[in-house]
Structure 1
Amino acid sequence: MQLANGEFAINGYRFGCGHNLQVKELQATSIRWRVQDQPNPVGDNILVGRDFGDPQPIKLGIYARGETAVETAQAAAEFANAWAAARDRKPGDESVLEIGIHGRTVRAYGRPRDLDIDDTEIFARKHADGTAVFDRTDGLFYGDPDNGGGGQVTLSITPPQSAGIRSPMRSPIVTLKGGIRQGIVTNTGLRPTSDVTITIHSTVSRPIVGGDGWEIELGTSLAYDRSVTIDARRRTVTRDDGVSLAGKLTRKSRLDQIIVPAGASEFTFRGISPDGSASATIRWGSAHTSLGA
């Protein structure tokens, strides 16, 4: 979604700059760690251990305003309804908070949580203050691939070639070979990103998609009218009809290893596609530590 500078969206509902529900304060960049540091039991100083990112909530100071008190009340009500929509989500489902900044749109993943609006002035005046808290499941901000904040590449598979028949023939007789195509891309983000989705389309058996340091293989076949989407950040593998194919991943396939590093990298796609129609589309959102970059 393309947002103006200072414009926000929660699950598609827009607010902020240009809307009756405005944002007057924003605390979005906050870095915290869960650490394993321990005092040295036999001497001076501290023994440092592993650090784990501890995502901090995004805090918004908001206010509703309109030409009339009725418009102000309506703006506050619409925002509250959008903010409360997460109540119907299932475990593991996330909301997306989008923020427009200097021609870019960045996304934060998590859930809308606390919302407090001071309704005192809503009866007769045209102003109502409040605060909103968005709990994050991920400490990074991600760009929108549709608006220059990431990228996309589609890899086709080479048609199968005849492998010939050699004597003596042994069962099973195989006369087709899988193809392989490679794609070199550039991630303009400053950090590696795990906000990656891979969508495999059309007729293919045992498709394999790989990148720098990882490889994902599905031990199954897709029909010509089917597709499967692998969401690395959410750790899901879903066919287009909603069926989970996570159980079809081979043992060497690790969703938590799928990343697109900063700078140049290479993707590969291979498998058995008798008619050569199979393709794999890889999309990623660039990763950022703060709203600045």
Structure 2
Amino acid sequence: MRDGEWSLTYPGVSLTWGPADLPVVNMVAPDLGDVETRADDADRPREDGRAFGSDFRGGRSITFELGVFGADEADARSTLADLARAWRGDAVRRSPGAVAELAMRHAGRERVVFGRPRRFASSEAEISEGVALVGCDFAAVDDVFYGPAEDSRTIGLAPPLGGGLTGALAAPLTTTGTSDRSAVLDIGGELDAWPVLTIQGPVTNPVVEVLGLWRLELRTTLAYDRSVTVDPRPWSRSVLLNGGGSLAGALSRTSPRLAAMGLPPGSHEVAYRGTDETGTSSVRFAWRESYPSP
């Protein structure tokens, strides 16, 4: 992307606008919107003041005032139709939880927000001269700006070293390996990042622990060709098998709520444990850096 460019992307749509050399131009700087705070305050009974509870931040709405410029009326109408079609969001609005990506770049910094295109109002007062004006909004799922690309780290589950047999032994003989592997994640950004975990079988009762923060355990067995994705991002919050089906019920009672799995910036030691006879199981961490402003 170039500085000043914005783009809307979702399946089947990729639209870019902003600078004056593009057919769709930002007429004024986009309004990043206010973020509502939902306060859980209460009046103190029979005394002055208030008691603070938990505060929750809503999602922001980003407002655009766009100009559509064409070589003539037909050209302007064609560009306006493409813009209107993209802003309908048909591929995401019919699916609960589905989101589009709104990307931007300023001073060399690329950021992304997730949400859906919403309000769209156009004026054709000057369409005969190849000009149309559009006012439109993008509703973000939260108030966070994310990095443009994912960071990731994969941790394998190697079997423990050992050797020899000790008696007394009884037939038939079987072996299993309970393994433990740790690594360090370096989380950049300025706010907590959401780690998406993909656990690849074969493994029984996999455990993923971020030392000092949380310990997630799935009480299940994954075959060699199965995986489960634990996605704590605000627009997903799911535990899904590849090919469909929820495994949320397999989370142990001591596992964290998905909404509590954010990782603050810095270095974190993570451990992956489980029972695997082959030593080929792994967990993949994927996350985006998070920022309070673009």
TM-score, normalising length from structure 1?
A: 0.85
Mean alpha-carbon deviation: is it higher for 214-223 or for 45-54?
Answer: 45-54
CA gap of 1:240–1:249, structure 2 versus 1, over 3 A, is same
CA gap of 1:47–1:275, structure 2 versus 1, over 3 A, is closer
Residues 88-107 of structure 1 aligned to structure 2 (within 5 Å): 88-107=93-112
Task: Report the counterpart of residue 17 of structure 1 in structure 2.
Answer: 18
1:26, CA displacement in angstroms?
0.7
Contact kept in structure 1, 2:73 and 2:130, CA below 8 Å? yes
In structure 2, how many angstroms separate the alpha carbons of the residues matched to 1:50 and 1:218?
30
In structure 1, how many angstroms separate the alpha carbons of the residues matched to 2:62 and 2:193?
20
Task: Report the counterpart of residue 225 of structure 2 in structure 1.
Answer: 225
Unaligned runs of 5+ in 2: none
Contact kept in structure 2, 1:5 and 1:17, CA below 8 Å? no
- Specify which of 80, 83, 90 is matched with residue 76 of structure 1: 80
In structure 1, how many angstroms separate the alpha carbons of the residues matched to 2:200 and 2:206?
10
Unaligned runs of 5+ in 1: none
Contact kept in structure 2, 1:63 and 1:127, CA below 8 Å? yes
Task: Report the counterpart of residue 28 of structure 1 in structure 2.
Answer: 32
Q: Give the secondary-structure state (helix, strand or coil) at the position aligned to 2:80.
A: helix
AA at the equivalent of 1:101: H
- Specify which of 229, 237, 240 is matched with residue 238 of structure 1: 240
In structure 2, how many angstroms separate the alpha carbons of the residues matched to 1:273 and 1:29?
50
1:81, CA displacement in angstroms?
0.9
In structure 1, how many angstroms separate the alpha carbons of the residues matched to 2:176 and 2:165?
10
Aligned residues: 283
Instruction: Check if 1:113 corresponds to 2:112.
Output: no
In structure 2, how many angstroms separate the alpha carbons of the residues matched to 1:143 and 1:131?
26
Name the Cα RMSD after superposition.
2.6
Q: Give the secondary-structure state (helix, strand or coil) at the position aligned to 2:89.
A: helix
Mean alpha-carbon deviation: is it higher for 229-238 or for 244-253?
Answer: 244-253
Task: Report the counterpart of residue 270 of structure 2 in structure 1.
Answer: 267
Q: Give the secondary-structure state (helix, strand or coil) at the position aligned to 2:67.
A: strand
Contact kept in structure 2, 1:108 and 1:141, CA below 8 Å? yes
1:50, CA displacement in angstroms?
2.6
In structure 2, how many angstroms separate the alpha carbons of the residues matched to 1:132 and 1:276?
53
CA gap of 1:92–1:223, structure 2 versus 1, over 3 A, is same
CA gap of 1:164–1:174, structure 2 versus 1, over 3 A, is farther
TM-score, normalising length from structure 2?
A: 0.85
Contact kept in structure 2, 1:202 and 1:279, CA below 8 Å? yes
Task: Report the counterpart of residue 5 of structure 1 in structure 2.
Answer: 3
Contact kept in structure 2, 1:23 and 1:60, CA below 8 Å? yes
Q: Give the secondary-structure state (helix, strand or coil) at the position aligned to 1:256.
A: helix
1:53, CA displacement in angstroms?
0.9
Instruction: Check if 1:66 corresponds to 2:67.
Output: no
In structure 2, how many angstroms separate the alpha carbons of the residues matched to 1:65 and 1:249?
54
Residues 68-217 of structure 1 aligned to structure 2 (within 5 Å): 68-86=72-90, 88-122=93-127, 124-146=128-150, 151-161=151-161, 175-194=175-194, 196-212=195-211, 213-217=213-217
Q: Give the secondary-structure state (helix, strand or coil) at the position aligned to 1:179.
A: strand
